[in-house]
Amino acid sequence: MRKDAPDTRSKLHANMLTAFGTHRYYSSDIAETCTMVDRLAEDSDPFFAIEAIYPAGFETTRHSHDRGQVTFVRDGMMSLVTDDQTLIVPARHAVWVPAHMSHQPLAQGHVCVMSAYAARECWGDLPGTCQVFQASDMLEPLIKRVIACQLTRDDGPIYDALLLLLHQEVIRSPKLATGTPMPSDPRLRRVCERVLRCPTMAQNKEEMARYGNMSSRTMTRLFRSEFNVTYSEWVQQALILSAIGLLVRGFPVSHVAYELGYTSPSAFTAMFKRRIGQSPSNFARPH
């Protein structure tokens, strides 16, 4: 393993990974994870948690779960695509996905996640939209302890207290605006997906309009009607997502600024703090 590569080995004890003779709470394939989650959701337990480690570049088709889901990204970075937005979930952050919300997780590098799934009667007071939040130092050990209790069949008062604390962590943690809206118009969605894949192309507005098989004037009108923002304003939010991805992968702030077309790191930092409320250095992976 390279010195600068994220450590994606499980931190759970080895005997937890093959509990009851199966990989019930551990998976290396997201399709297997979805099948496992659906099976666990059929049990009477209204709450369960798993840990999963995925290789670089994993992706899956759109899917949803019957339960609300909190996914904590321990290592790497994950993006989450829904019908109306694309969100970035950096390392040491988490995302809330409501029950029955169609979503598609994607990753550029190795990623390790820990996810908790709650029936509606458990966390019915959480919002009906996806939210990214900054995880405290308590979130990871809480989810680990929940998994440990599941594996030892320990569902007494300590387990109940853990679930209460976990719920409070999700409710009270600071929320982050690391998402960008996605349009319903197929032409505009094609443009937006292209910008997210290659942000530097966004500098040529006319070229992006041709990519969407429309005129620049039509594209401008669609951005106004879909989002009530200009093309440049939407692109600026998309650049934030790209910047977070580069920062999490270890690129210095100056490199990210110039990569995204800013003339100086200070101008990039000012824009980033205005949009996110935090300095870009807060997202940088320690060397």
- Residue 231, both tokens: 């093309």
Tell me the range of 71-85, 139-153, 216-230 where mean pLDDT is highest: 216-230
Strand 47-54: give its sheet, edge to edge.
Answer: 26-27, 47-54, 111-118, 68-75, 93-97, 131-134, 175-176
Q: Nearest Cα to 19, choosing from 60, 48, 55?
A: 48
Least reliable range by pLDDT among 31-40, 44-53, 59-68:
31-40
Q: What is the pLDDT of residue 22?
A: 36
Instruction: Please determine, for residue 245, whether its predicted confidence score (pLDDT) is greater than 70.
Output: yes
Query: Could you give the CA distance from residue 36 to residue 24 in angstroms, rounded to a whole number?
Result: 7
- Residue 178, both tokens: 């690391």
Q: Nearest Cα to 87, choosing from 99, 96, 76?
A: 96
CB 121 within 8 A of CB 156: no
Q: What is the pLDDT of residue 9?
A: 46
pLDDT band at 106 (very low <50, low <70, confident <90, very high): confident
Residues 22-46 have a mean pLDDT of 68
Query: Could you give the CA distance from residue 189 to residue 183 in angstroms, rounded to a whole number?
Result: 5
**Mean pLDDT across the chain:** 83
pLDDT band at 286 (very low <50, low <70, confident <90, very high): low
Decide: helix, strand or coil at residue 244.
helix
Instruction: Please determine, for residue 228, whether its predicted confidence score (pLDDT) is greater than 90.
Output: yes
pLDDT band at 52 (very low <50, low <70, confident <90, very high): confident
Q: What is the pLDDT of residue 79?
A: 87
pLDDT band at 69 (very low <50, low <70, confident <90, very high): very high
